[in-house]
């Protein structure tokens, strides 16, 4: 059995501005750095980590850094855990996308799991690469507890897969917030969720 502690990165400037980030680099806001510290404190109080993996995008790596300091572990950067590539929507305000891509937005909202971002990935693409990364970790770290820092869309796709839902049913999985914790025990193809999108460790001013 491997225990995955999956954490979404802290708040970024793009999150605050309500822009699509995708695989573009974005900076953690000061509140995002505080969120990462608070999340590392919560995890350290309850678990002992054996390894740390992170998306190679800087907002995820920066979120992983407080964990690396507390546990004296290196951060293994892995592009498998990058956010879904939102293609033409990258860097655009959510409000502008709703105005400029009305048909795509309708498709996105009606069948998110089957949606392919214009010029980018589908959630099926994202699920395939992220779960590939997760299964490599499971094989390498049997009997251990592993932190994985990733992104909202990617975590949602992984949760969907671990629950055994086809990706077309992604809408059954709620989005997870910044600095949320999802804890999953995985063994022999079966996943048991301990926490999903947990943010109770964040004080009100950090939510």
The closest alpha carbon to 82, from 136, 21, 16, belongs to 21
| pLDDT tier at 156, thresholds 50, 70, 90 | very high
- What mean pLDDT comes out for the span 183-205? 97
- What mean pLDDT comes out for the span 113-135? 97
Buried b (16+ CB within 10 A) or exposed e, 56-69: ebbbbbbbbbbbbe
The pLDDT tens digits of the residues spanning 59-113 come to: 999 999 999 999 999 999 999 999 999 999 999 999 999 999 999 999 999 999 9
The pLDDT tens digits of the residues spanning 45-59 come to: 999 999 999 999 999
| pLDDT tier at 32, thresholds 50, 70, 90 | very high
Catalytic residue status for 151: yes
Res 70: pLDDT: 97
- What mean pLDDT comes out for the span 110-134? 96
Q: Which candidate in 141, 151, 201, 205 is catalytic?
A: 151
Contact between 89 and 20 under an 8 Å Cβ cutoff? The reply is yes
- What mean pLDDT comes out for the span 4-19? 97
- What mean pLDDT comes out for the span 178-200? 97
- What percent of the chain is predicted at pLDDT more than 70? 100
Buried b (16+ CB within 10 A) or exposed e, 133-171: bbeebbeebeeebbbbbbbbbbbbbbbbbbeeeebeebe
Task: Tell me the C-alpha distance between 125 and 171, whole Å.
Answer: 16
Whether the full predicted model's pTM is greater than 0.85, yes or no, is yes
Res 151: pLDDT: 98
Instruction: Indicate which CATH number applies to the domain containing 101.
Output: 3.40.50.1240
- Token pair for residue 68? 């690396």
Average pLDDT, the chain: 97
> What range does the domain containing 186 cover?
2-206
Res 157: pLDDT: 98
| pLDDT tier at 193, thresholds 50, 70, 90 | very high
3-state secondary structure 12-67: EHHHHHCECCCCCCCCECHHHHHHHHHHHHHHHHHCCCCEEEECCCHHHHHHHHHH
Domains of the chain: total? 1
Catalytic residue status for 9: yes
The closest alpha carbon to 160, from 199, 180, 194, 130, belongs to 130
């Amino acid at each position: 059995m491997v225990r995955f502690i999956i954490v979404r990165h802290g708040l970024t400037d793009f999150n605050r501005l309500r822009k699509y980030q995708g695989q573009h680099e974005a900076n953690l806001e000061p509140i995002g750095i505080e969120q990462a510290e608070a999340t590392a404190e919560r995890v350290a109080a309850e678990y002992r980590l054996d390894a740390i993996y992170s998306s190679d995008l800087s907002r995820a790596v920066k979120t992983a850094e407080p964990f690396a300091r507390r546990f004296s572990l290196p951060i293994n950067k892995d592009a498998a855990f990058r956010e879904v590539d939102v293609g033409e929507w990258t860097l655009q305000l959510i409000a502008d996308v709703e105005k400029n891509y009305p048909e795509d937005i309708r498709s996105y909202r009606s069948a998110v799991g089957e949606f392919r971002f214009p010029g980018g990935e589908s959630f099926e693409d994202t699920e395939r690469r992220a779960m590939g990364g997760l299964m490599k970790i499971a094989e390498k770290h049997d009997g251990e507890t592993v932190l994985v820092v990733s992104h909202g869309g990617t975590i949602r796709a992984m949760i969907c897969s671990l629950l055994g839902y086809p990706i077309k049913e992604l809408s059954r999985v709620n989005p997870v917030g910044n600095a949320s914790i999802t804890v999953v025990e995985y063994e022999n193809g079966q996943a048991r969720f301990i926490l999903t999108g947990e943010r109770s460790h964040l004080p009100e001013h950090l939510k």
